Structure formats: C-alpha cells, structure tokens
Amino acid sequence: MIGAPMVSPRRREVIIAGLATVVAPAALAALPAAPEKLILSGRVLGTHGRPLAGATVAAGAARAVTDADGRFLLLTTTRMYGVTCEGRSTEGFVSNQRRSADGTWRATVALTLV
C-alpha cells in the first residue's frame, strides 16, 4: 500500500492483545453455560407408606432403580424427574437443591407413588 504508515510487528502484537482483552470476555459470556451436575437422592413409597422396590427414577438421561428400602441415587444435570413402577407414574421438579461444601449441587426427594 502506498502511503500507508508502517506498523512494527511488536506494535501490531500489542494492538491485537489489547483488542483480545476487550473481545474475549464478551465472546466467552455469549457461550452457553455448562449444565451443573446434581446428585439427586431420595425414597419412593407405595400406597400404604411402604418402600417401593424396583421403581425407576429418571432425570434427563440418568436412570436409577430403587432398592429394597425404596431408596435411589443418581447423577443428573436436569431438575425434572419422573418415577414409574408397575404401570403407575409421577413426575416433578426439584426445588430444594443446595450446594454442598465441595460445590456439588444436591437434592433429596420423598415420593409416594399411588
């Protein structure tokens, strides 16, 4: 280019670095946040208040089956869950999640499947 001022390579690096400090945070802020993991645990009871073994608890792609005491534990990234057993089902939304000292989200639910 005729008449264009010459910019030294070092000055060019400083200009680019300065622009990057302005543009990069905005670009990163526009990225969707990674879903946070939630440890969901609880107990499923049957109609007479007895533990319901073999019920399937699902939250997103995560699945767990209740043990003989009706208890389950699963790791998920969604707050929506569903429970099915012997043709009965229910679903809900976790509203009592809390962050533990190690930074992990945890929630406990107690369900009666009627």
Choose among 7, 30, 27: nearest CA to 19.
27
Backbone φ, ψ for residue 108 (5° rounding): -125, 135
Instruction: Determine, yes or no, domain membership for 31.
Output: no
CA–CA separation, 100 and 39 (whole Å): 10
Which CATH number do you get for residue 98? 2.60.40.1120
The whole-model pTM stands at 0.68
Instruction: Determine, yes or no, domain membership for 12.
Output: no
Instruction: Determine, yes or no, domain membership for 96.
Output: yes
How many structural domains comprise the chain?
A: 1
Q: Calculate the CA 61 to chain-centre distance.
A: 11
Instruction: Determine, yes or no, domain membership for 101.
Output: yes
Instruction: Determine, yes or no, domain membership for 28.
Output: no
Q: Which of 16-25, 55-64, 87-96 has the highest mean pLDDT?
A: 55-64
- The 10s digit of each residue's pLDDT in 30-87 is 665 667 889 999 999 988 889 999 999 999 999 999 999 999 999 999 999 999 998 8
Q: Which domain holds residue 57?
A: 38-112
Instruction: Determine, yes or no, domain membership for 43.
Output: yes
Q: How confident is the model at residue 28 (pLDDT cuts 50, 70, 90)?
A: low
